[in-house]
Structure 1
Amino acid sequence: MLRNDAPLVDRLRYIYIRRKGPVYAAISDVIDDQYPKEPRPLIIKQIKLADKAHRFLIHLPPGKGFDEFKKKERLFADATGGSLLIEKRGTTIIMEVLTEELKKSYPYSLYDHTKYNSMHLPFPIGMSAKGLLVRDLAEYPHFFTGGETNFGKSNALHVIANSILLSRPDTYLVIVDPKSTEFAYLEDYALVVDEMQHAKILFQKLNHEMDKRKKILKKANCVKVQKYLTQGGDMPFIIVIIDEMAELQDKETIDHLWRLLRMGRFTGIHIIAATQRPSSKVFDNFGDVKAMFLGRLAFICADSINSHMILDNDRAAHLEAIQGRAIYKCGLEMIEVQTLFLDPEDAAMLLKDSKDRRLKKVDFFINQPSERLPPRQNLALPPGGMPGSRHRPN
């Protein structure tokens, strides 16, 4: 509230910014409070995107850094009563504000996979200030999620697995499930490994498959599988979901996994890993490996240390204790989201009711001597042939 004895110029400015609207005024008040000395950041334009959604273009004067401004995101969110996304484009800051707070739950039915045929491996991240975020796993190339138990990690994995199966049924899906029961409903559509002694054999065979794919791509003069597909080649994506990465204690198993993380992306092999508390005590070189997970999703963390392990900042330690609430980060993009909720029973019905009859189980036996992924059931291949993919990017 402005003091009655404030200078005339301040009183006129106070009236002006409030005529611009409550959201404009809230942001301006935070700027005035956090930058009391001139020069201060300046709102140069306000754009109404939709009901309760606004975009602000903000100019930073010389000497004021973007990183410092972005750290105040929580203050802006509290002042506007909503959720925000702050990005930098050139010398201008883009601040998008949704003045309606995120709900505590959003159903998976909000996601329509048929709208994202231009993506290779689409899946929804969650609802945010920008609306529903949908990303392409093939562009990451690997994805990591972590946080305290019972706050949404397993649900996020269900969402990713089912989204890919529904939109790209030719994809090979492999799930390492130490709990044995979490992904049992997917055994007709994916290889579910629930015995850790088999994990080493699995990753060993995936490395052999990766090496064979590298030779095929080199011969076709393709630097990655996406280009190979556009030229008419057959090379289905392989998605490996690891529900609790900390359960992988065998050194040889971890070495095989690290190699897939380093080189698998170009051959269409993508890793999605989850763990409750990532730590260098569990993985000797987790700090280095973390850099390979460009996409990250952090649910509420017990402390700043665990949040830093996932996001390189403490934002996940200050999340509200809401199941499904998380911080999504990819490169410079970072935003609070509420992940979509998908009950495993509903997921099983979605797959069962799918009109696409190409949904097949990965016919892959851990104990067989073969060194590569075999074809799907009822799909014969010529000697030396690769598993076929009917998917072509639009």
Structure 2
Amino acid sequence: MVVSGVTLAAAAKLAGAGGSGAAAWLVWRSMPEQVFRRKLMYLFRFGNLYYKIIGYKGRELRSYPIIKRVSSYLDRTEAAFVLPVGIDPARINENEWLFRQVFGAGAELSMSEDAKTFVLSVYSTSVAPFEYDAAEVDECIPGLNLPIYVGRSRSGDVVYDMVEHPHLLIAGETGSGKSVALRSVLTTLIRRVPELELYCADMKRSEFHLFRGIAQEVVMDAAGLQRIVLKLRRQMRERGDLLDRYEVAHVNDLPAWDRPPYIILAVDEVALLKKKADIMEGIEEIATIGRALGVFLILSMQRPDADVLDGKLKNNLTVRMAFRHADEINSRITIGTGEAAAIKQSEKGRLVLKLDGCRYVQGPHLELSAAREMLEPYKNLEPTASEAQAPRETAEEQDEYVEVGLL
């Protein structure tokens, strides 16, 4: 075996000037970087992450990823490895859970643009809870059409553009941080997208009162949502006709003077609609064709329901935020892995983000009073007729009502 001369020399010094070669070898093998390499090679072998070649006389040859470097930092250990030509990089992302099994919850993967070089970062510390800061958020999202600020991972702030990654599902049990995430996501969109048309359906009657006077409509029942869905389906047909007229594939390609604004339909506790076939059909239509037409979904639910998240709808919700889930079964319904069940009850705001793989993120904490103050400049003085008639109830009263109904 060929080893680094510098590293082996350092090992010899640690073993003592008069130490034997065997002692130096043992010291070298026990160095953190070498232990890390061996664990990574173990993962490649037992995870079947290799490219198989049939050689002479049918002999099977295996080409494993090459570990280019292992580096230690104060807060993490990093390893860069390169895939052999022929391995689909999606296999690495699909097996991200395996890296956490071997290296722990602090393991995070990132892929370079060449689609073959990956960096595995294993962090020794977690991200502390933090408050939503509008100025800091704004620094992270320049140039994004529909900016979604997710929070912070160990490698920095996590943001993405909903136009590029359409539709969002936010799921998590009571008290996990789901409602706060929904609040912060919508607050960011309202502040940063001036022409946004927002429609809110608050099936739980506890959160969206904050957006009255800002959203086009805020409704509290299935009948109101059905009316909104019919309206949006009509608008999608009109936008489709507009794309045909200009012979373009996306609303972003339309000339500025004839480009309609982005539309977002946010539905809190969508699981309560599973028996409303007509509404769910409309929601599925938006999920299927809405991206090109500039119409997007943000759906949330406390308890994932396989009947609601069927294959068609689930596959079109390209981004999912999973806060703490009661068990691995529920977690798998949401993100395809059991990792959301491993989040502790004390870890408020911690989530698993499913976007090009899964990773842990700490979402920002945004108090209702702070959000109300931020959004005050965006409010219209006169509410719509539907908003004026909607009853207002406190979040505490409605949470209690929903919890009893779910038992």
Single out whichever of 180-189 and 8-17 deviates more from structure 2: 8-17
Q: Does 1:84 align with 2:111?
A: no
Residue equivalent to 1:204 = 230
Q: Decide which moves more: 106-115 or 341-350.
A: 106-115
User: Is the contact made by 2:200 and 2:265 (CA closer than 8 Å) also made in structure 1?
Assistant: yes
Aligned-partner Cα distance in 2 for 1:274–1:262: 18
Q: Is 1:31 paired with 2:35?
A: no
Unaligned runs of 5+ in 1: 368-394
What is aligned with 1:57?
80
TM-score (normalizing by structure 2): 0.74
* Equivalent residue runs for 1:140-289 within 5 Å: 140-190=165-215, 191-228=217-254, 231-248=256-273, 249-280=275-306, 282-283=307-308, 286-289=310-313
**Following TM superposition, by how much is the alpha carbon of 1:362 offset from its aligned partner in structure 2, in angstroms?**
10
Q: Output the CA distance in 1 between the equivalents of 2:21 and 2:35.
A: 21
2: distance between equivalents of 1:188 and 1:61? 56
TM-score, length of structure 1 as denominator length: 0.77
- Please provide the CA RMSD for this pair: 3.3
Distance 1:361 1:257 in 2: 30
Q: In 1, are the aligned partners of 2:151 and 2:362 still within 8 Å (CA)?
A: yes
Counterparts of 1:63 and 1:134, CA distance in 2: 31
Cα distance in 1 between the residues matched to 2:290 and 2:263 = 9
> Could you tell me how far 1:185 is from its partner in structure 2?
1.9
* Mapped partners of 2:203, 2:381: distance in 1: 20
Q: Distance in 2 between matches of 1:361 and 1:142?
A: 30
Of structures 1 and 2, the one scoring higher in RCO (CA 8 A, sep 6+) is 1
Amino acid in structure 2 at the alignment position of 1:100: T
SS of 2:241's equivalent?
A: helix
Assess, with a 3 A threshold, how the Cα gap between structure 1 residues 320 and 219 changes in structure 2: closer, same or farther.
Answer: same
The SS at the match of 2:369 is: helix
Residue of structure 2 equivalent to 1:12: 25
Larger relative helix fraction: 2
SS at 1:72's partner residue? Answer: helix
CA 1:228/1:60 → structure 2, altered by over 3 Å: closer, same or farther?
A: closer
Q: Structure 1 58/13 Cα, relative in aligned 2: closer, same or farther at 3 Å?
A: farther
The 2-side partners of 1:325 and 1:58 are apart by 28
Partners of 2:69 and 2:321 in 1: how far apart?
A: 31
> How many residue pairs are counted as aligned between the two chains?
346
Tell me: CA distance 1:224–1:16, structure 2 relative to 1, closer, same or farther (3 Å).
same
Secondary structure of 2:200's match?
strand
- Per the alignment, residue 50 of structure 2 pairs with none
Task: Give the match for residue 71 of structure 1.
Answer: 97
Deviation digits for residues 186-209 of structure 1 (CA, Å, limit 9, x no counterpart): 102112111222111110111011
Q: Output the CA distance in 2 between the equivalents of 1:56 and 1:34.
A: 13
**Which residue of structure 1 aligns with residue 328 of structure 2?**
304
Match of 2:395 in 1: none
- TM-superposed CA distance for 1:234, in Å, is 3.2
* Structure 1 CA distance for aligned equivalents of residues 228 and 177 of structure 2: 27
